[in-house]
Amino acid sequence: MPINNIALLVMVLLCFVAVLLMLNLKEHRQVQAKKQQLNSYEQILDQVGAYIYVKDIHCRYVYANQLTLNFFGVTQDQLKGTSDTEYFPDSVANLLLKNDRKVIALQLKIADDIMVDGEEDGSCHVYHEIKQPFFDEKGKLTGLIGVSTEITDEYNLRSELEQLANTDALTGLYNRRSFNAFSEHEYARAMRYFEPLSLMIIDIDLFKNVNDTYGHLVGDEVIRRVALVCNQHIREADVLARIGGEEFAILLPGTDTESAYKLAERLRISQQTYRFPGQHEANDLPEVTISIGVSTLSVKDKSFAQMLSRADKALYSSKNIGRNSVHVA
Ligand SMILES: Nc1nc2c(ncn2[C@@H]2O[C@H](COP(=O)(O)OP(=O)(O)OP(=O)(O)O)[C@@H](O)[C@H]2O)c(=O)[nH]1
């Protein structure tokens, strides 16, 4: 082969190698750039004040940001392939797994509040978690991505506000608002399943005299004592509420007229014969009597209001015959 041709061949080969090297270098640079980009994304995620993690389709951890790693007390390498059973009590881990499986199976985003008991002080922490399916660039499901934030303070505040909105400050009983909600619910249930349902309205007799004679503060204590005595006689399913100043109501699911009447009589008598053990200050409060109106759900009732109105009428009958009595309507 002439020398010129060999030189040409060497030149072509060199060019080919140079092109290959350049391509390789470009690819290397791209990989490096991607790595750098991923590193900076990870750095960003590490600085977010939320627990961020990725799990595979078997609900095992693939990645977690620094906050999550700190919480679990593991490194990124130690985390890989582990599951929640290693970091949470069984009850919590099962709940988390249930949510994970839902996300994977239904390919749906879900949100939930999770309560976790603190190991050291027994305090309860609440986390709001959002989980959604995670797909690769070809659209194939590869697992899930989750974000959790601690909402203990908000949760406690919400519970306190809910309690304030639903309970009566003086007695701690349900207020009228929550009594109405319970009543509608129990009325619908009793109607649907043909179950008995009774209602009692209780009013303290001549209560104005108590206030006028002993003052409002003593009046308040008497209201609290009436509530306490009523509370001692009811079952867990019964709903006792303070629905007005000196007026109470008790909703009695699964209770027929006869049983409701017997309970009302027991309550009426026990308001006069109660005695709290020891030197209870309620024992020194002025005596009062109560009047009660009872009604029971009828198939003819079109709404809970009709039952309520019958109990009200029965209460007025009790007042009209001289108080300290029970009437059924
Ligand atoms: N101390 C106190 N008194 C209250 C409260 N809410 C309502 N009252 C009082 O309860 C009294 C109710 O009086 P009335 O409606 O005339 O009825 P009553 O004196 O109980 O007479 P009868 O119901 O007919 O037996 C009023 O004096 C109200 O001011 C409360 O939260 N605390």
Query: For 104-146, how does the pLDDT look when each residue is reduced to its tens digit (9 = 90+)?
Result: 999 999 999 999 987 667 789 999 999 999 999 999 999 999 9
Q: Which residue has the tokens 């990645």?
A: 63
CB 289 within 8 A of CB 306: no
167 lines ligand 1 (CB under 6 A): no
Phi/psi region, residue 72 (left: phi>0; alpha: psi -120 to 50; beta: rest), is: alpha
154 has catalytic annotation: no
CB 253 within 8 A of CB 237: yes
How far apart, in Å, do the first and last CA atoms of the chain sit?
A: 123
**Strand pairing class (110-117; 141-150):** unpaired
pLDDT in tens, 208-265: 999 999 999 999 999 999 999 999 999 999 999 999 999 999 999 999 999 999 999 9
Calpha distance 272→74 (Å, rounded): 65
- Looking at the predicted structure, is the pLDDT value of residue 204 above 90? yes
State which ligand 1 atom lies nearest to the alpha carbon of 205.
25
168 lines ligand 1 (CB under 6 A): no
268: CA distance to ligand 1 center in Å?
18
* Helix 152-166 vs helix 176-193: crossing angle, to nearest 10: 80
Out of 150, 246, 258, 287, the active site residue is 246
Q: Which residue's CA lies nearest to atom 31 of ligand 1?
A: 245
204 lines ligand 1 (CB under 6 A): yes
Query: What are the start-end ranges of the H helices in the chain?
Result: 3-46, 66-72, 76-79, 90-106, 152-166, 176-193, 207-214, 216-231, 257-273, 304-320
Q: Which residue's CA lies nearest to atom 27 of ligand 1?
A: 208
Q: Which residue's CA lies nearest to atom 30 of ligand 1?
A: 245
